[in-house]
Amino acid sequence: MACIPFGDTVKQFRKEKRILLRYFCEELKIPAQYWSKVELNINPPPCDLLLLLKVAKVLQLTSDERSKLFKSSQQWVSKPDKDIASRLPAFYHGNIDDVNLDRLIADIKSLTTQDA
């Protein structure tokens, strides 16, 4: 059975519990912009076990749900570059060649990893 990506897993739990992203991030004391990228599987899940435990606590996860969350946090795979490219503002679509697109994606990735 394939593991659901961490971002999808945590977002599903948060929505099931009807917890808004801003409130969730305030409780965790983390930037909403950072966590949004985690839930979109752009940024990797947090490596900090204490933060993962706080996530489980804020979401009031059961033992089985915590296990699912922790398992998915260890099997992170980033979204493909083409998916990132599709999220660029409209003026980039069709107006940038593959070489410059690859450079832009690398620059974006370096910025998002610095946020974490």
Can you give the pLDDT at residue 36?
93
Rounded distance between C-alpha atoms, residue 91 and residue 77, angstroms:
28
User: What tens digit of pLDDT does each residue of 47-71 get?
Assistant: 888 999 999 999 999 999 999 998 8
Helices vs strands, H then E, count in the chain: 7, 0
Which pTM value belongs to this model?
0.63
The full set of domain ranges for the chain reads: 6-73, 81-115
Can you give the pLDDT at residue 27?
95
Identity of residue 73: S
CATH fold of 6-73 reads 434 Repressor (Amino-terminal Domain) (1.10.260)
Confidence band for 16, pLDDT divided at 50, 70 and 90: very high
Confidence band for 29, pLDDT divided at 50, 70 and 90: very high
What's CA 33's distance to the chain center, in Å? 10
